[in-house]
């Protein structure tokens, strides 16, 4: 995507294009600026900030963009508004529906909670969901996982049952979210690096993005005979497959599975 933007403009990267890289593909602005400088072009930072503010304004003016109606019969009869693009906590959530799980869920969860608004991102596309806390009347329960229920609504899995109908305060584990975001960006960097070395035929086949590590599964039509990817290189036959893994601050390791 970055190379296509460069090829389509002789004046550098436009602000709206830089924002698309950030919003759609997970490329932070400083990374786009670094790649652009290496190629002797500029990035319209002011245009990027303008596009970012326009998105924030749209989010403030219209909640419909992330309002999801729960349709399964076990869920509540109110919609959920996702606010995680702008917030890391909600101080007063009025609409709350909680229940005990019939069986122990992921991460030892004992209950599940639906909220009228939430900054918690639900697990999707290989990226794990957020964790954090729900508080009310001096009590505090940990959200051990967030998954997506019917219609994509965030479902908060809790270590114990939340015995309240509202209002509650919800807070993200921001340090954990930051590590996930770093690995999300690193996954896009891995994809870009693999395409740079192996060619445009590299296709993503799956991924895992968590707070502790990342994994990027890919296929490519030609095996890499140069040994130029990761530790020891990636080798394989035609229609080979590979897997890369690592953590931010550590060393990425790739291996062929062709």
Say if strands 79-82 and 117-118 run parallel, antiparallel, or are unpaired: parallel
**Residue-level pLDDT at 190:** 86
End-to-end CA distance of the chain: 26
Write down the pLDDT at residue 158: 97
| Cβ neighbours of residue 132 closer than 8 Å, sequence gap 6 or more | 120, 142, 143, 170, 171, 172, 173
pTM of the complete model: 0.66
For residue 231, the model assigns a pLDDT of: 35
One digit per residue, the tens of pLDDT, for the chain of length 258 reads 666 666 666 678 888 888 887 776 667 777 788 778 878 888 888 888 888 888 777 665 544 444 433 334 456 789 999 999 899 999 999 999 999 998 898 889 999 999 999 999 999 888 999 999 999 999 999 999 999 988 788 999 999 999 988 899 999 999 999 999 999 988 888 888 888 888 888 888 888 999 999 998 888 876 544 444 543 333 333 345 666 666 666 655 566 554
Question: What does the pLDDT read at residue 114?
Answer: 95
Note whether 158 and 143 are within 8 A (CB): yes
In Å, what is the CA distance from 143 to each residue of 66, 132, 133, 155, 182? Answer: 21, 5, 5, 10, 21
CB 148 within 8 Å of CB 124: yes
Can you give the pLDDT at residue 127? 93
Burial class of residue 187 (count of CB atoms within 10 Å of its CB; 0-12, 13-18, 19+): buried
The b/e string for 223-251 (b: 16+ C-beta within 10 A; e otherwise) is bbeeeebbeeebbbeeebbbbbbbbeeee
Output the pLDDT for position 242: 62
Residue 137 is predicted with a pLDDT of 94
pLDDT score, position 247 = 65
**Residue 224: partners with Cβ closer than 8 Å, 6 or more residues away:** 197, 198, 233, 234, 235, 236, 240, 256
> Is the omega angle on the peptide bond into residue 167 within 30 degrees of 0, that is, cis?
yes
């Amino acid at each position: 995507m970055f190379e296509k933007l460069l090829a389509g403009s002789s004046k550098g990267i436009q602000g709206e294009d830089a924002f698309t890289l950030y919003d759609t593909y997970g490329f932070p602005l400083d990374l786009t600026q670094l790649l652009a400088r290496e190629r002797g072009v500029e990035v319209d930072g002011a245009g990027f900030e303008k596009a970012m503010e326009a998105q924030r304004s749209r989010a403030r003016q219209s909640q419909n963009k992330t309002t999801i109606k729960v349709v399964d019969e076990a869920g509540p009869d109110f919609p959920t508004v996702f606010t995680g693009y702008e917030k890391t906590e909600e101080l007063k959530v009025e609409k709350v529906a909680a229940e005990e799980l019939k069986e122990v869920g992921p991460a030892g969860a004992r209950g599940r909670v639906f909220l009228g608004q939430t900054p918690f991102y639900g697990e999707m596309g290989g990226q794990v969901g957020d964790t954090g806390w729900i508080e009310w009347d001096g009590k505090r329960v940990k959200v051990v996982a967030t998954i997506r229920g019917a219609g994509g609504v965030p479902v908060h899995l809790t270590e114990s049952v939340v015995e309240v109908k509202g209002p509650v305060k919800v807070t993200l584990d921001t340090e954990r979210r930051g590590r996930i975001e770093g690995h999300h960006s690193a996954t896009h960097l891995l994809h870009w690096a693999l395409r740079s070395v192996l060619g445009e035929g590299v296709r993503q086949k799956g991924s895992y993005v968590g707070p502790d590590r990342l994994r990027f599964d890919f296929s490519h039509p030609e095996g890499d005979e140069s040994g130029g990817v990761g530790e020891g290189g990636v080798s394989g036959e035609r229609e080979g497959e590979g897997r890369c893994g690592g953590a931010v601050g550590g060393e990425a390791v790739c291996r062929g599975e062709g």
